[in-house]
Amino acid sequence: MSSSADKTAKKSATNEWVETIVVVAEALLIAIVLRSFLYQPFSIPTASMQQTLMIGDYFVANKFVWGYGKHSFSLGRYGNFTALDFELPITERIFGREPNRGDVAVFRPVPQNVEYIKRIVGLPGDRIQVRDGRLYINGTIVEREEIGTALDTDSEGDTREVTVYRETFPNGSVHIIQEISDNGPLDNTPEYVVPPDHYFMMGDNRDRSADSRVLSQVGYVPEVNLIAKAEARFFSIRDNIPPWQIWHWPANVRWDRMFESIE
């Protein structure tokens, strides 16, 4: 009886281990499917989208709303993070709708192998220009309203005073931008004509953003290189402190920026 009981106990323990492994494997599979096809988390390492997305913000991006493109299933690279880089051999996006002007997009510029995040300013066929710090779309100046000043700190710790504006696109999309001045290096540009099936991107922190205005670095972004639409912040911490360092949370977590949609 003792030997039989021991065998039963060992069999039960083995079954429990097998069940645990199966549960863990299923959870990993679900996480991989969610990340690959539906939603993917990202973090912000630079100042180019402040105040909309601050350094140390963590957000989730919708991967299916625009369908799937060349880099949709790559875990990719973002900032200093490097992971699996898988590229689909396709030239057009499949499924999904077209992006809207004003959407905040995660994408892969053609000359780069890292993910960028910027706001979609120009649609295919649009004429985009910046003159004296003001954005023009198809020859018409984009409305902006000054709402105050703020201090902006970049990833190198350089702090500048900025003027904050509420900008309204022709389609009614409203968002916040900021400028150090209206006479910076990218505040007077030639007119850009967005090619078919491409988009023109700009950062909301206009004087601290390398974006489509810099053709050699970002330039026009092919539709097939769009990865996801930024939808909501779920965590935010100052100074790019790793989230697992919970002992820094009380003084550094930006509680007011958590669980908010991205406009």
Which string of DSSP letters, residue by residue, matches the chain?
A: -HHHHHHHHHHHHHHHHHHHHHHHHHHHHHHHHIIIIIEEEEE--SSTTTTTS-TTEEEEEESSTT-B-TTTT---EETTEE--------SS-BSS-PPPTT-EEEE--TT-SS-EEEEEEE-TT-EEEEETTEEEETTEEPEEEEEEEEEEE-TT--EEEEEEEEEE-TTS-EEEEEES-SSSTTSS-PPEEPPTTEEEEE-SBGGG---TTSTTTT-SEEGGGEEEEEEEEEEEBGGG--TT-GGGHHHHB-GGGTTEE--
Query: Can you give the residue range of the structural domain that contains 208?
Result: 39-261
Residue 221 maps to a domain = yes
Residue 27 maps to a domain = no
Residue-wise pLDDT for 148-157, tens only, equals: 999 999 999 9
**Percentage of residues in the chain with pLDDT exceeding 90?**
66
User: What is the model's pLDDT at position 90?
Assistant: 75
User: What is the model's pLDDT at position 110?
Assistant: 86
Mean per-residue pLDDT, 7-29: 60
| pLDDT higher than 70, residue 26 | no
* Predicted TM-score (pTM) of this structure: 0.83
CATH value at residue 210: 2.10.109.10
Residue 206's closest CA among 133, 262, 109?
133
Q: Which residue out of 118, 209, 229, 236 is catalytically annotated?
A: 118
As for how many domains the chain has, the answer is 1
Mean per-residue pLDDT, 19-36: 59
Antiparallel, parallel or unpaired: β 104-107 and 192-193: unpaired
Residue 234 maps to a domain = yes
Cα 182–chain centre separation: 26
Answer yes or no: are the C-beta atoms of 220 and 195 closer than 8 Å.
yes
- Looking at per-residue pLDDT, the higher value among 85 and 242 belongs to 242
User: What is the model's pLDDT at position 185?
Assistant: 93
Fill in the amino acid letter for 224: V
Answer yes or no: are the C-beta atoms of 203 and 179 closer than 8 Å.
no
Active-site annotation holds for 7: no
Mean per-residue pLDDT, 3-31: 60
Residue 18 maps to a domain = no
| pLDDT higher than 80, residue 68 | yes
- Looking at per-residue pLDDT, the higher value among 31 and 196 belongs to 196
Residue 90 maps to a domain = yes
Residue 98 maps to a domain = yes
Residue 10 maps to a domain = no
| pLDDT higher than 50, residue 126 | yes
Residue-wise pLDDT for 159-201, tens only, equals: 999 999 999 999 999 999 999 999 999 999 999 999 999 999 9
Active-site annotation holds for 43: no
Mean pLDDT of the chain: 86
Q: Which residue out of 43, 48, 72, 74 is catalytically annotated?
A: 48
User: What is the model's pLDDT at position 71?
Assistant: 80
User: What is the model's pLDDT at position 36?
Assistant: 59
Residue 50 maps to a domain = yes
